[in-house]
Amino acid sequence: MNSIETNNMWYFRDVTDEDNDDYTSDSVVVPVDQITGIVPFGSVIYIYFRGQNLSSTQDNVTQNQIVALNYEAGYGKEVCEHLAALANAGPHHSGITVVADNATTDFDGSTRAAITSHKYITGVSFIHNA
Amino acid sequence: MKEDKWLYFRNVTDADDDDGLLGTNKNHPTSLMIPASRLACMQPMSDTTLSLEFSPIKHLEVGSQYQRTKAPKADAVILTVTQGKTFEVMEAITHAINSPSRTGGFIVIADDVTTFKDNSTRAVGEYIHKDISGVDSMYAYRTPQGFGMHEYWEMVSLSATAGDADGKSVGQLLVSLPAQAILLEGAMTVITRSDHADSSVRLDIHSASRADGATGGTEWIGAGSSGTASIPNADLNNGSGDVLYDTLHSGTHAPIDRDTAETFIQVTACEDTSGATTSAGIIGVYIKWFGSPAEVI
């Protein structure tokens, strides 16, 4: 039997209401092996992924796709260490690991807390993958 | 599942200063983490510095070989090392990359921090080998580097209000070209149209940044480009009733030697484009030049 090589996939969502999760910059799943580097910038940590970014705002001069996470200033190293471990951890049931999900209102109108995978990650700042 | 080691570097001494930019240079991060699989090579730069070079972090870099220097890998971390110990340091880094992981794959190669967020301190930073004494510098460029042939593409969202007269800038590329560039060719295309019927634009070059609404550039691509014919020889119409993906090229315009002038590139109104209510449209701009790498404005 041929073996299937699995890949850890990271999930990010940048809307607070699932009803509004309807655009390329609202949520994204990306393969971990497409990460080119992780760099702090101001109050966010940029995760760069291979892929062409065609948006046109100032922060988008760079051509790779970006997911920016809000984090607690001064703990960039701790966040990086966590993300490295997360990248090398076995994928969960579906293979998707939720790194940060800003949604607090579900489709049925019920509410819940936002999800982050680490205490120093406070949410998704933006997703540039259009 | 594929596993990768993650190499970590930090070149500030206080964790509070780990905020992205070392000084004001947008190409010098204060810390970064890179998958070991992106490591291209390690090589000494002097008696006491060792360079770890990486495939680009922030931008795509494809097809640049034989077109310019430093292609395609210019991102790097320069470590300060003991003279005569470069091999030992490279060996230690290699060993760490190839050893079974005990820390989830997170490897601190060099961390200069001696004061932590909670203001606790340590005498020296954390280094993977005793002959590393610090991070000299780090480079994570926002644009492809090297001297030679360059291309750039950007989608410019036009100002909905600034272009109320012919010749006024309605959008500027987010990069400038350093002096001694030779502009080879350019093109522009309508990605989305204005929501107003009246709108047409051209492409100007200028020696200084030009705010939306300002005038002063020299027309490069458009109906009025002096002594030349753009293809087609017209301005680019992007009003609500115009043709989506209509395209304009620099045509017969000879290469432009910018000599000592820096080059800024602006999409410029050719008729009153200010009637748009919410969107004046998006124009895709392509430029090709020979010279130094673009700089982020």
Contact yes or no for B174 and A58 at CB 8 A: yes
Contact yes or no for A37 and B35 at CB 8 A: yes
Contact yes or no for B32 and A84 at CB 8 A: no
Contact yes or no for B60/B72 (Cβ under 8 A):
no
Closest listed residue to residue B295, CA positions, set B267, B262, B259, B258: B262
Strand B106-111 versus strand B6-10 pairing type = parallel
Contact yes or no for A88 and B282 at CB 8 A: no
User: What pLDDT digit, counting tens, does each position of B219-275 carry?
Assistant: 999 998 777 889 999 999 999 999 999 999 999 999 999 999 999 999 999 988 888
The per-residue pLDDT for B90 is 96
Q: Is the pLDDT of residue A1 over 70?
A: no
The per-residue pLDDT for B2 is 62
Q: Is the pLDDT of residue B87 over 80?
A: yes
- The rounded distance, in Å, linking the Cα atoms of B36 and B38 is 5
Contact yes or no for B117 and A88 at CB 8 A: no
Rounded to a whole number of angstroms, the distance from the CA of B227 to the nearest CA of chain A is: 32
Contacts of B156 in chain A (CB under 8 A): 56
Q: Is A6 on the interface with B (CB under 8 A)?
A: yes
Give the residue from chain A lying closest to B295, CA to CA. Answer: A61
Strand B282-291 versus strand B175-176 pairing type = unpaired
User: What pLDDT digit, counting tens, does each position of B207-219 carry?
Assistant: 999 999 999 999 9
ipTM of the complex: 0.85
DSSP string, B202-268: EEEEESS---TT----EEEESTT-TT---BSSS-EE-STTS-TT-EEE-TTPPPEE-TT--BEEEEE
Contact yes or no for B73/B58 (Cβ under 8 A):
no
Rounded to a whole number of angstroms, the distance from the CA of A40 to the nearest CA of chain B is: 5
Global confidence as pTM: 0.86
Give per-residue burial for B77-113: e unless 16+ CB within 10 Å, then b. Answer: bbbbbeeebbeebbebbeebbeeebeebbbbbbbbbb
Contact yes or no for A102/A114 (Cβ under 8 A):
yes
Q: Mean pLDDT over residues B124-149, rounded?
A: 93
Q: Is the pLDDT of residue B286 over 50?
A: yes
What DSSP character marks residue B171?
E
Contact yes or no for B185/B205 (Cβ under 8 A):
no
Contact yes or no for B197/B275 (Cβ under 8 A):
yes
Q: Is A64 on the interface with B (CB under 8 A)?
A: yes
Give per-residue burial for A95-107: e unless 16+ CB within 10 Å, then b. Answer: eebebbbbbeeee
Could you state, in order of their start, the residue ranges of all structural domains in chain A? 9-128
Measured between CB atoms, which of A36, A54, A75 is closest to B117? A75
Measured between CB atoms, which of B60, B117, B142 is closest to A74? B117
Measured between CB atoms, which of B8, B21, B156 is closest to A80? B8
Contact yes or no for B246/B256 (Cβ under 8 A):
no
Contact yes or no for B32/B57 (Cβ under 8 A):
yes
Measured between CB atoms, which of A8, A64, A83 is closest to B59? A64
- Domains of chain B listed by start with CATH number: 6-139 (no CATH), 148-296 (2.60.120)
Measured between CB atoms, which of B57, B108, B156 is closest to A36? B57
Q: Exposed, middle or buried, B181 (CB in 10 Å: 0-12/13-18/19+)? A: buried
- Give the sign of the dihedral formed by CA B85, CA B88, CA B94, CA B95: negative
Contacts of B16 in chain A (CB under 8 A): 73-74
Contact yes or no for A81 and B55 at CB 8 A: no
The single-letter code of the amino acid at B87 is F
The single-letter code of the amino acid at B204 is D
